[in-house]
Amino acid sequence: MHTDAAAAPSRLAHHFPDMKTQEHAARMGMWLFLSTEILLFAVLFTAYAVYRFLFPQGFDEASKLAHVAMGATNTVVLITSSLTVALAIHYARLGENRKVVGLLGVTILFGLTFMVLKGFEYHHHWVDGQLPGRLYHYAGLQGPGVSMYFTIYFLMTGLHGLHVLIGMSVLGWVAWRAGRGEFGPGYSTPVELSGLYWHLVDLIWIFLFPLLYLM
């Protein structure tokens, strides 16, 4: 385990009086960034709300074409990955870097599982012609608003999937740093902040799943 005295002075930027203030500022900055992410997704949730309001029947019928089993499995996968990240932060604060590496590795595997299942879903929609806008050519369901559902489905899950990929990369980088034994009681900010990002990705999926799959 690292001692505070050894780790703290080199980590402290000159414009902060102490590590406590520095980490508080870092978390504050991360929360501000996350709020911009929330507003980015909020625009798409607004589009969803508007078109669901304008085409209730089209959205009802189209959302029955979503693959609920895979979506529900992905919900379980992401929530469990949030648990492993929360535990990784806990052990990073204790300086148990080997556990951090293991837990972040498991989290990345969960992320990979999520993306593979998402890929299968996309493949099914692709084969069936359930595509956005005028690319939609599924004969089994035609009507106003139906292709708009798939436009919004692909936009929202696509942007969310991109965030999963970014989260996996960041967690991989943090796991590599944990492997070098960098984290301990005096310094765990990178694990905390990347963990916040991963939790936000989970949080957005918690809303996406019922709205897109279960209406």
Q: Which residues bind another protein (CB under 8 A)?
A: 4, 18-20, 23-24, 27-28, 31-32, 34-35, 38-39, 42-43, 45-46, 49-50, 53-58, 60-61, 68, 72, 75-76, 79-80, 82-83, 85-87, 89-90, 93-94, 137, 139-145, 185-186, 188, 192, 195-196, 199-200, 202-203, 206-207, 209-211, 214-215
Nearest to another protein of 11, 177 (CB atom): 11
> What residues pair up with 184 in beta bridges, in sequence order?
187
**Residue 11 to residue 99: CA distance in whole angstroms:** 23
> What residues pair up with 187 in beta bridges, in sequence order?
184
Task: Give the nearest distance from C-beta 187 to another protein in angstroms.
Answer: 9
Task: Give the nearest distance from C-beta 152 to another protein in angstroms.
Answer: 14
Nearest to another protein of 6, 76 (CB atom): 76
Task: Give the nearest distance from C-beta 161 to another protein in angstroms.
Answer: 19
**Residue 208 to residue 215: CA distance in whole angstroms:** 11
Task: Give the nearest distance from C-beta 150 to another protein in angstroms.
Answer: 15
- Residue 184: phi and psi, rounded to 5, are -170, -170
Nearest to another protein of 55, 122 (CB atom): 55
**Residue 122 to residue 128: CA distance in whole angstroms:** 10
The helix (H) or strand (E) run that includes residue 90 is: helix 68-94
**Number of other residues whose CB lies within 10 A of the CB of residue 150:** 21
Give the closest residue to 82 by CA, choosing from 186, 171, 145, 174. 171
Question: Residue 84: which region, alpha, beta or left (left: phi > 0; alpha: psi -120 to 50)?
Answer: alpha
Task: Give the nearest distance from C-beta 3 to another protein in angstroms.
Answer: 12
Nearest to another protein of 27, 177 (CB atom): 27
Nearest to another protein of 31, 126 (CB atom): 31
Amino acid, res. 11? R
Nearest to another protein of 82, 101 (CB atom): 82
**Residue 123 to residue 154: CA distance in whole angstroms:** 12
Q: Are 201 and 155 in contact (CB under 8 A)?
A: no
Task: Give the nearest distance from C-beta 124 to another protein in angstroms.
Answer: 18
